[in-house]
């Protein structure tokens, strides 16, 4: 592992301190990629899993602290039933088949989003992987599944309101830290870099609170086409940017 990490760092040519600690990815274009190849949309999702594997393993090699992947939005349930069933099958299969790699590479898996609409069988395999990897200390792989940032904020506000009602929290003491601690991502750092594939120029209800000061990097490549070289370029571009967080430099 140490040797592969060194080789990956040499290819990247960006010192560790200049790399993003947390990378979030809006994985877009699976269906469009498949249609361009004359393939059914579900084949694009299948090929997208290979990109998930590549990017996750490369982030682990590069010693990135966290990778958050937008797997299924709360709005995606509007898609055709057959496509949704296939996505659930892929998710269940991923949770089972990737366990050995997850453990070998010391990856810790988390899931954010509302689980109530996810089939029970998928939830069981998901929880098994989460529990199995809980003690790992390497890359944190956070999968956003049935996730919507507005829903996340609604859930946080409800929980805070209940605590105020029950006398557990003083409304006058509510601040940004209070809100952050009630989000699905409580305990996680905010993303430094957001990558979006397929050339789309929107956030799509993804981590709206958390990406307030994230750098955004767009590629025309659809997700099934995304390779390690694309990840490297995104990190290089990130390292070259001047992050001011609303202040001035120079």
Q: Which residues are catalytic?
A: 28, 76
Reduce the DSSP state of residue 35 to 3 states and report it: helix
Say how far apart CA 212 and CA 205 lie, in whole Å.
Answer: 13
Per-residue DSSP letter, 212:
T
Closest CA to 22 of 64, 57, 54: 64
Q: Which residues pair with 110 in a beta bridge?
A: 142
**Contact in structure between 52 and 96 (CB atoms under 8 Å):** no
Closest CA to 144 of 136, 156, 152: 152
Transcribe 169-184 into DSSP letters: S-GGG--HHHHHHTST
Beta pairing, strands 140-147 & 108-112: parallel
**Contact in structure between 185 and 212 (CB atoms under 8 Å):** no
Per-residue DSSP letter, 190:
P
CA angle, residues 100, 3, 129, in degrees to nearest 5: 20
């Amino acid at each position: 592992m140490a040797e592969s990490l060194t080789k990956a760092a040499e290819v990247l040519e960006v010192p560790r301190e200049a790399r993003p600690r947390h990378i979030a990815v809006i994985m877009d274009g699976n269906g469009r990629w498949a249609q361009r190849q004359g393939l059914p949309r579900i084949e694009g999702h299948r090929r997208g899993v290979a990109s998930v594997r590549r990017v996750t393993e490369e982030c682990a090699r590069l010693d990135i602290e966290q990778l958050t992947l937008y797997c299924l939005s709360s709005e995606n349930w509007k898609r055709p039933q057959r496509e949704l069933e296939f996505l659930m099958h892929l998710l269940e299969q991923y949770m089972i088949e990737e366990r050995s790699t997850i453990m070998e590479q010391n990856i810790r898996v988390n899931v954010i989003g509302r689980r109530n609409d996810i089939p029970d069988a998928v939830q069981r395999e998901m929880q098994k992987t989460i529990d199995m990897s809980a003690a790992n200390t390497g890359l944190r792989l956070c999968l956003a599944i049935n996730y919507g940032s507005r829903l996340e904020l609604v859930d946080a506000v409800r929980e805070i309101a209940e605590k105020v009602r029950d006398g557990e929290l003083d409304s006058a003491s509510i601040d940004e830290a209070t809100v952050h601690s009630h989000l699905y991502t409580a305990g996680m750092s905010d993303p430094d870099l957001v990558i979006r594939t397929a050339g789309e120029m929107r956030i799509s209800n993804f981590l709206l609170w958390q990406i307030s000061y994230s750098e955004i990097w767009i590629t025309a490549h659809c997700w099934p086409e995304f390779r390690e070289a694309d990840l490297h370029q995104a990190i290089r571009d990130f390292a070259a940017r001047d992050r001011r967080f609303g202040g001035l430099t120079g």
